[in-house]
Copies of this chain bind each other. A is one copy, B any other.
């Protein structure tokens, strides 16, 4: 399968839709459409006693509040780390002096391209949140063990949040936290 040059057929601030001509064997052609989303960050603030901060946030897509990691898009000309620091401050008013990227994930392997950077944040300090208009966020603190249990029972179901929690659990077991 070979792809000819693509063109953007739909564009928003957060994603593009691109169409590419696919040259199949025997000179057949197909149109292959993909979505490319602005990269995101997910932040996992962990206390000295291994309590994790998550948020309940109203999510239009699910028509309800769901439990997940503090997260957001990376702005133009912003590093992933700067975005992590900004989102942590904006969404829950927190800052952290120790940051570590524990994973850089791809949400999908085909059709939709989105990279997300997963950060562990430690040495936390609480301040005042400045949520964006329309954001309805409740900060929740729970033990890492409880968070893992909620991943395993399906209560936490958003991919990046699941991965961050399961990786932190694994790192802790390996004494790498």
A residues near B, CB below 8 A?
Answer: 1, 3, 9-10, 12, 14-15, 17, 22, 24-25, 32-35, 37, 57-62, 66, 68, 71, 103-114, 133-134, 148, 151-152, 154, 157-163, 166-167, 169-171
Contacts and interface: CB of A to CB of B under 8 A. Distances in A.
Nearest to A30: B134
26 contacts: A3-B60, A10-B10, A15-B33, A15-B111, A15-B112, A22-B134, A24-B134, A32-B60, A35-B35, A35-B112, A37-B111, A59-B109, A61-B106, A61-B108, A61-B109, A71-B109, A104-B154, A104-B157, A105-B157, A105-B159, A107-B158, A108-B159, A108-B160, A151-B167, A159-B163, A166-B167
A10 B134 CA distance: 26
B170 A152 contact: yes
Contacts of A9: 10
Nearest to A115: B157
Nearest to A108: B107
Given A1-B134, A104-B154, A105-B158, A61 B110 contact: yes
